[in-house]
Every structure is written in structure tokens, then in C-alpha cells.
Structure 1
Amino acid sequence: MSTEDAVRELLLVMPRMVGRVKRIPPPDEIRDLDLAPRHLTLLSLLLLDGPLTVNELAARLGVAPTTVSLLIGDLTRKGVLARRADEADRRRRIVDISDTSRPAISAWLSPGARAWRHALAPLTAEQQRMFVDTLLRYEQHVAGDA
């Protein structure tokens, strides 16, 4: 496959893929919460990695802790997240998806993670890294950062 053939195929598949993902309706329990993509990224991390501190979330999201704190505050007020003291250091707060919201969040976001696992499974670890790096380079270039 030539680069131009690959570009053509990607230009056809990307809008379809994004369109399909956008059409996945949130469960009734969280439909009225007005969740934005930035919320979904944070929720995906908590779903995949479990409870994390504000600083851990900020590092993984690549944003400032104050930005994460605002998102957490918003989602906590909506009952989506729960905060608790860290047993190892009572000054730190651990953030997690609330018990009442976890089933709906999991039902909504887990199919996407399963689809990525299925798509990536045939690839070696090196090929998976190259695929992710390629998507990151594409994102950087589209954003004008490259």
C-alpha cells in the first residue's frame, strides 16, 4: 500500500469511526449530566486505572492539577465522582467514579476499550507503540503543534 492509498483510506474511515462513536448514546442515568469530551477522558482513566490522586490524573491527562480539580469538582457535584482521603497521606485526596455512577459509566465507555483491545490484539508491542505514536503525531499536526 502506498502512502497516498493509506491516506485515502484513513480519510474515509476516520469520519465514519468518529461518527459511530459520537452516536453511542450515554445511558439514561448520566444522559442529563452534560458530559464533555474532557470529562470522558478523565472518566476513562479512572475506569481503566482505578482510583487516582489529582496529581496523577493531571500527569496522565497532560494538564495542570488546577484544571483537573475543576473537572473533579464539576463531576463530584453531579454525583459522578467521589473523593476520599488517602489512607497513606491524609492530606491527599483519592478520586474515583462513584458507586452509583460506575455501572452506567462502565456500560458506556467499556465497549470502546474492548474495541481497541480487539483491534490492537494482532499487533506486537512495537507495532502497537508505532500505531499510537502515529495517531499522536497526526493529532499534533492537525492541532498545529508540529
Structure 2
Amino acid sequence: MSTEAAVRELLLVMPRLVGRVKRIPPPEQLRGLDLAPRHLSLFSLLLLDGPMTVSELAAKLGVAPTTVSLIVGDLTRKGVLVRREDEADRRRRIIDISADSRPAISQWLSPGAHAWRHALDPLTAEQQRAFIDTLLRYEQYFAADG
């Protein structure tokens, strides 16, 4: 397949993919919270990697700690996230999904995880890495105002 043929195919499939993902409605308790893709990434990190600090979240999301702090503050006030003291260092706060919100968020995000597993399972580890690197380069192009 030529690069131009691959680009054509991706230009056709990407809008459909995004449209289908956007049609997965958020759980009832999260509707009206004006959630953006960055919220989904934050929820995914906390579900998959467990509780962490604002600095750790910011590093993994590739955004400023102040941005994460604002998101966490907003979602904590709304009861979606919780902050607790770090037992090892009481000056640090650990962020997690609230017990009340965890089942709904997990159920909401699981179709995406299942779809990625379905798509990636047939690939070798090297092919998976190449696919992810390709998506990251695509994202980086737009982050740099392509």
C-alpha cells in the first residue's frame, strides 16, 4: 500500500472512529460535568495505574501541574475524585477516583479498552509499538500547529 492510499483510508476511517466513540454516552452521574478528552485520559490513568499525585498525573498527561490541579479541584468538588494524604509524606496529596464514581467510569471506559485489545492483539509487540508511535507522531503534528 502506498502512503497516499494509506492516508486516503485513514482520512475516511478516522471521522467514523471518532464519531462512534463520541456516541458512547457518559454514565448518568457524569452527565452535565462538561467532560473533555483530557478528563477521559485522567480517568484512564487512575483506573489503569492507580492513585497518584498531581505531579505524576501531569507528567503522564503531558500537561502542566496547574492544569491537572484545576481539573482535580473541580472533579473533587463534584465528588468524582478524592484527595487523601500520602502516608509516606503528609505534605503530598494522592488523587483517586471516588468509590461512588469508580464503577460508572470503569464501565464507561471499558468498551474502548476492549476495542483496543481486539485491534492490537493480532499484532506483534514491535507492530504495536510502531502503531502507537505513529499515532503519537500524528498527534504531535497538530500539537505543533501542523
Provide the TM-score with structure 1 as the length reference: 0.94
Distance in 2 (alpha carbons) for counterparts of 1:105 and 1:45 = 12
Residue of structure 1 in register with 2:133 after alignment: 133
Runs of 4+ in 1 over 2 A off after TM superposition: 142-146
Residue of structure 1 in register with 2:58 after alignment: 58
Structure 2, unaligned runs of 5 or more: none
- Deviates further, 134-143 or 41-50: 134-143
Distance in 2 (alpha carbons) for counterparts of 1:55 and 1:143 = 21
Distance in 2 (alpha carbons) for counterparts of 1:117 and 1:67 = 30
Cα distance change of structure 1 residues 144 and 58 upon mapping to structure 2, 3 Å threshold: closer
Residue of structure 1 in register with 2:88 after alignment: 88
Distance in 2 (alpha carbons) for counterparts of 1:59 and 1:144 = 18
Structure 1, unaligned runs of 5 or more: none
Residue of structure 2 in register with 1:103 after alignment: 103
Residue of structure 2 in register with 1:49 after alignment: 49
Residue of structure 2 in register with 1:79 after alignment: 79
Residue of structure 1 in register with 2:31 after alignment: 31
Distance in 2 (alpha carbons) for counterparts of 1:24 and 1:141 = 27
Corresponding residue SS for 2:26: coil
Post-superposition shift, 1:118? 1.4
Residue of structure 2 in register with 1:116 after alignment: 116
Answer yes or no: is 1:15 the counterpart of 2:15.
yes
Corresponding residue SS for 1:137: helix
Post-superposition shift, 1:145? 5.1
Could you report, residue by residue, the CA deviation over 1:14-70 in whole angstroms, capped at 9, with x for unpaired residues? 000000011111111211222122211111111111111111101101111111111
Distance in 2 (alpha carbons) for counterparts of 1:142 and 1:70 = 24
Q: Give the aligned length.
A: 146
Provide the TM-score with structure 2 as the length reference: 0.94
Aligned-pair identity in percent equals 82
